[in-house]
C-alpha cells in the first residue's frame, strides 16, 4: 500500500533532522545534543515534536491544484548555560539542510521556512526548558494526494 502524502512528509522531515541536521552540527566545535526520535530528550539528545496540518491555499494554488500544508517542528532544549546557543545552532543547521533539500526528495513541490521562534524560560535557572519552534509551509500537487 502506498503511504499517504502526509506520512511521506513527516518521514522526510524526520530523516532531514536526524541525518542531515545532525551531520551539519557534527562538524562544529560546539557539541550540541543530537536529534533523535522515539526517545525522551536528555543532556545528549533532543526529541522534536512534528505537527502537520492542511492550511489555506492561495487562489493561484487552487487554480493549479496544489495542496498546502503547515508543518511545525518544536525542539525542547534542556536548560543549560548554552541552551540559547543550541537553539540558534539547530535553527541554522535546519535552515541549511532544508535549503539543500527543499523538495524533501521530490515529495513536495516546495518547502519554505515561514518562521522561527525562540522561547526562553520565564525565569532563568529555574529548571524550565528552552524551545525552538520552526514553522514551514509546504505545497504539493493535489492529484498525488489521493493516497
Q: Inform me whether the pLDDT recorded for 142 exceeds 60.
A: yes
Residues 6+ apart with CB under 8 A from 75: 35, 46, 48, 87, 90, 131, 132, 133, 134
Instruction: Give the CATH number, domain containing residue 125.
Output: 3.30.70
The confidence band for 143, taking pLDDT boundaries of 50, 70 and 90, is: low
Q: How many domains are contained in the chain?
A: 1
Q: What mean pLDDT comes out for the span 49-75? A: 88
Q: Which domain holds residue 27?
A: 5-146
Average pLDDT, the chain: 88
Q: What mean pLDDT comes out for the span 32-43? A: 81
Q: Inform me whether the pLDDT recorded for 133 exceeds 90.
A: yes
Separation between Cα atoms, residue 64 and residue 124, nearest integer Å: 49
Strand 66-77's sheet: what is its strand order? 49-54, 66-77, 130-141, 110-119
Separation between Cα atoms, residue 95 and residue 112, nearest integer Å: 9
- The predicted pLDDT at position 76 comes to 93
The confidence band for 146, taking pLDDT boundaries of 50, 70 and 90, is: very low
Q: Inform me whether the pLDDT recorded for 70 exceeds 90.
A: yes
The confidence band for 20, taking pLDDT boundaries of 50, 70 and 90, is: very high
Contact 21, 94 (CB under 8 A): yes
Q: What mean pLDDT comes out for the span 81-100? A: 95
- The predicted pLDDT at position 44 comes to 85
Q: Pick the closest to residue 143 from 71, 67, 69 (CA basis).
A: 67
Contact 138, 68 (CB under 8 A): yes
Q: What mean pLDDT comes out for the span 124-144? A: 83
Amino acid at each position: 500500500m502506498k503511504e499517504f502524502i502526509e506520512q511521506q512528509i513527516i518521514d522526510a522531515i524526520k530523516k532531514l533532522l536526524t541525518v542531515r541536521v545532525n551531520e551539519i552540527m557534527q562538524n562544529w566545535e560546539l557539541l550540541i545534543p543530537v536529534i533523535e526520535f522515539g526517545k525522551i530528550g536528555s543532556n545528549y539528545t533532543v526529541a522534536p515534536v512534528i505537527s502537520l496540518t492542511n492550511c489555506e491555499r492561495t487562489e493561484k494554488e487552487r487554480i493549479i491544484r496544489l495542496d498546502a500544508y503547515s508543518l511545525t517542528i518544536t525542539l525542547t532544549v534542556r536548560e543549560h548555560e548554552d541552551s540559547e546557543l543550541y537553539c540558534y545552532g539547530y535553527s541554522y543547521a535546519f535552515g541549511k539542510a532544508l535549503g539543500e533539500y527543499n523538495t524533501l526528495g521530490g515529495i513536495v513541490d516546495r518547502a519554505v521556512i515561514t518562521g522561527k521562534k525562540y522561547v526562553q524560560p520565564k525565569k532563568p535557572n529555574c529548571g524550565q526548558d528552552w524551545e525552538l519552534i520552526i514553522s514551514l509551509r509546504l505545497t504539493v500537487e493535489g492529484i498525488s494526494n489521493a493516497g
